Chain A
Amino acid sequence: DSGVTQTPKHLITATGQRVTLRCSPRSGDLSVYWYQQSLDQGLQFLIQYYNGEERAKGNILERFSAQQFPDLHSELNLSSLELGDSALYFCASSVALGQGYEQYFGPGTRLTVT
């Protein structure tokens, strides 16, 4: 158990809908990362927050957004869903910014868009 929790574990929804994925980092970790794992794209970095502020953006679509709240949990919002958004979405946390710090991954949310 990494200490990172993600809800829900599974989500099935229709095209055009909007969903929210939730992540609670390990106790004491200030940095939260979101990654997408799909068969065709592999594991890709989406976005990072540190202590409530956005710090880095990767290949994140404009239809996707995220935020980190004062209690440090984070939410990833996916809207106008398309079939191609079906993937496993991971949240990871680390104690600080910068390379070298270990990231601890949650179990993921499997999103299926039908």
Chain B
Amino acid sequence: GNSVTQMEGPVTLSEEAFLTINCTYTATGYPSLFWYVQYPGEGLQLLLKATKADDKGSNKGFEATYRKETTSFHLEKGSVQVSDSAVYFCALSAPSALSSNTGKLIFGQGTTLQVKP
């Protein structure tokens, strides 16, 4: 079935360091891929998305490229800030063997990022 695997956290970085959070997926067909961010005590916010191979999603300095050949969608940021401390979720939307694609999201387990000043 469809699934998402993220690198285990927590990830601890100093301010202005380079960030990579790995995400790989297994899916039927051509999924859409998303990164969501959850700040402490809040709901999920869409960070970026990509809907086809080689698309690059970007927002607030974060980027991720849809790589079909490696089934990956790694999240990167060139210079992290303390305010980026949060939990990051990779997710996909794709049809399954049992149903057409209604848009439901399948999430990875989440990666906690802590940025120290």
Hey, which bits of chain A sit against chain B, CB under 8 A?
A: 2, 4, 31, 33, 35, 42-45, 48, 50, 55-56, 58, 90, 92, 94, 96-108
In addition to A96-B103, A105-B36, 10 A-B residue pairs with Cβ atoms within 8 Å of each other are A33-B105, A35-B105, A44-B107, A48-B103, A50-B102, A55-B102, A58-B104, A99-B32, A99-B94, A100-B103
Asked whether, in the complex, the Cβ of B103 is within 8 Å of the Cβ of A107, the reply is no
A38–B2 Cα gap in the complex (Å)? 20
Taking Cβ atoms with an 8 Å cutoff, the residues of B that contact A are 31-32, 34, 36, 42-46, 49, 51, 89, 93-95, 99, 101-110
Which residues of chain B are within 8 angstroms of A101 by Cβ–Cβ distance? 103
Residues of A near B34 (CB, < 8 A) are: 102
**A106 engages B46 (CB within 8 Å):** no
* Contact between B101 and A98, CB atoms less than 8 A apart: yes
Min C-beta distance of B65 to chain A, whole Å: 17
Beta-carbon nearest neighbor of A104 in chain B: B46
Which 7 pairs, one residue from A and one from B, show the smallest C-beta to C-beta distance?
A99-B93, A43-B107, A99-B32, A105-B43, A105-B44, A56-B102, A100-B32
Whether the pair B107, A42 counts as a contact (CB closer than 8 A) is yes
- Whether the Cβ atoms of A45 and B103 lie closer than 8 Å is no
Assess the B107–A98 pair: CB atoms within 8 A: no
Residues of A within 8 A of B99 (CB): 56
Q: Which residues of A contact B108 (CB under 8 A)?
A: 42
> How far, in angstroms, from A48 to B36 measured CA to CA in the complex?
19
Collect the chain B residues with CB atoms within 8 Å of residue A94's CB: 103
17 A–B pairs (Cβ distance < 8 Å), ordered by A: A2-B43, A33-B105, A42-B109, A42-B110, A43-B89, A45-B104, A56-B102, A90-B44, A92-B44, A97-B102, A98-B101, A99-B93, A100-B49, A100-B93, A106-B43, A107-B42, A108-B43
